[in-house]
């Protein structure tokens, strides 16, 4: 059964002051909480798996250069018998059961993915701050730091800014702060939302989220 989850947020300015207006986010959820949590976990594991490059590679004894000649005769030397210097027992030899290039991929249905994002946003309700906009007169790193300080946010906490469209000036001004990420509302990243301790979402982005992820 599908339920309508309504979350009301006060709209704030980038200085941290409330404008007096409020906005409601309307999301569709499953009526069973455990189902929503399971979908979030499934989507997270799928994203992590698809991010793996699978390029790790080691050489077997057949691929290591050399090994054509028996190092020494079988008997009479007093040393352990050896047939090839590419043996895994030798330094510089092949690897017995090392990794080989592999394609890591997993699939999740579009509706499941959308449900996972909706469920995660509801779970992160307390961490969400809705802003009127994120327009600055001067896009500088110091101005971004002042905004975070006005909301009493520690610079060591992961912070996510969700905007309707990417602006190059905003990307450049936040690039020097490793804990800040910028996302477009119609292309959310579940892993980054999950790891974020603070979420700034503009008023226009909430409407985009409703239209894009409500199915």
| 137 band by pLDDT with thresholds 50, 70 and 90 | low
0.95 exceeded by pTM: no
What pLDDT, on the 0 to 100 scale, is given for residue 196? 94
- Domains, the chain, ordered by start: 2-50+109-213 (3.40.1370.10), 53-103 (no CATH)
Mean pLDDT of 108-123: 92
Task: Give the CA radius of gyration of the chain.
Answer: 27
| 25 band by pLDDT with thresholds 50, 70 and 90 | confident
């Amino acid at each position: 059964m599908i339920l309508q989850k309504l979350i009301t947020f006060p709209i704030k300015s980038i200085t941290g002051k409330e404008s007096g207006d409020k906005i409601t986010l309307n999301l569709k959820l499953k009526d069973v909480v455990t189902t929503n949590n399971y979908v979030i976990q499934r989507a997270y594991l799928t994203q992590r798996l698809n991010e793996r490059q699978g390029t790790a590679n080691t050489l077997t004894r057949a691929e290591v250069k050399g090994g054509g000649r028996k190092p020494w005769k079988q008997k009479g030397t007093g040393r352990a018998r050896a047939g090839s210097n590419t043996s895994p027992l030798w330094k510089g030899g092949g690897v017995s059961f090392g990794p080989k290039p592999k394609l890591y991929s997993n699939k999740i249905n579009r509706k499941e993915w959308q449900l996972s994002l909706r469920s995660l946003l509801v779970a992160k309700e307390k961490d969400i701050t809705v802003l009127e906009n994120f327009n600055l007169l001067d896009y500088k790193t110091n101005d971004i730091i002042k905004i975070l300080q006005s909301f009493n946010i520690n610079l060591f906490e992961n912070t996510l800014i969700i905007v309707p469209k990417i602006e190059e000036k905003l990307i450049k001004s936040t690039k020097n702060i490793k804990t800040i990420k910028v996302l477009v509302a119609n292309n959310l990243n579940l892993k980054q939302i999950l790891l974020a301790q603070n979420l700034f979402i503009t008023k226009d982005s909430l409407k985009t989220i409703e239209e894009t992820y409500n199915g």
